Structure 1
């Protein structure tokens, strides 16, 4: 993890909403929302101008790379010791106290470093280049972490979207409908299900193998047909329940066979 506290403008010891979220294991959006609420309520002591929230929190934006290219501005907050103290008052949990103590120690250390003049300041052109290179490396590493997190969020959203489609459907579906989710024909999709030991063909109808027959994944539906010579007949078609559809999704996902909605753009 990065240093919890850093030197800001006017020789202030500061931390950021990103660092707080990482340390306390919280979603960054929840931390930003908590700070927004503090600022909106302005619950600090009104008689002391030095303790107004606008002196504790400093909002800024950062361009976050997107998985599909380009960047998107994201809200961030920097905060001093007082701002962190207000924010952390609402944090609870088994490890919250230790995390707060870690932050207090980090603020004390940074404030002492700034006070003693021990903060790293380049004294030559070569030192300035080295410092700039190190800072750039840290920025690049942070951007990689942000990009990886953004990609993970997008992938989770795709999975959630497809599962919502399944769970919101109440009726049965034919194989052709599921095959379309994967960009395949029913013939090709049935072949994949057969190759993965899910079903086999008996008397012209696809039948599940024994381990899956009692799971409620499918049911058979009789369909009236007319042969070319005019003879009426009845055939049996296999239809999938939503439970069966979910079973197919989870089974094929383990084989890296994904529906179109989850594939990389």
Structure 2
């Protein structure tokens, strides 16, 4: 038998498989009991206390199961009234209490931790989370502004769905992506937040970029900023004013001279 209670979505829960095993019941019957209680309790209670999921059985098939909060567990186990069942309910309730205390300890803010080493570790975790949220908020702000470019006839002509990485644009100038990003930063166009370059607010609603998210797996995703054709022309004009021309125009100037 595994743990009676475990953490799911930052709260203590048990599941229908554990209930079936502990109370000596068929899992199919436990599922019927759960669905009956969901029907009786109503959708509002059911939505926040019963979480339907799946597990892989011995035949390697995906089968239904439920995760239950303490309130949901008490509701379902209420009808299990044998002497042994009552003892098991007490064990579950004690385990829910223990898990809540453990979760509260895990989530305790750094300033409340007495041990200096553990306090420092927690503080570092908090700062990483704050930095992550800050980056996500800044990316979201840029994405919202990118969706609201100022319309003009010029914009209509330049509408083009093809997007370019900074690497591609930099190649036109014989530069590396690192050098191009640094130059755009130097010229006050963009700044680096975490691992991503973001436009300063005054450029975000011009239609120069589109921020995209590439999902790597269930836990990881990479956010990147791609340039539109309009953004490419903006960079061209910007760098031209700095005396920096794309390779093809340098070649043309050389031939003319």
TM-score bracket for the superposition, by shorter chain length: 0.3 to 0.5
Q: Given the two structures, how large is their TM-score scaled by the length of structure 2?
A: 0.40
Q: Given the two structures, how large is their TM-score scaled by the length of structure 1?
A: 0.39
Higher helix content, 1 or 2: 2
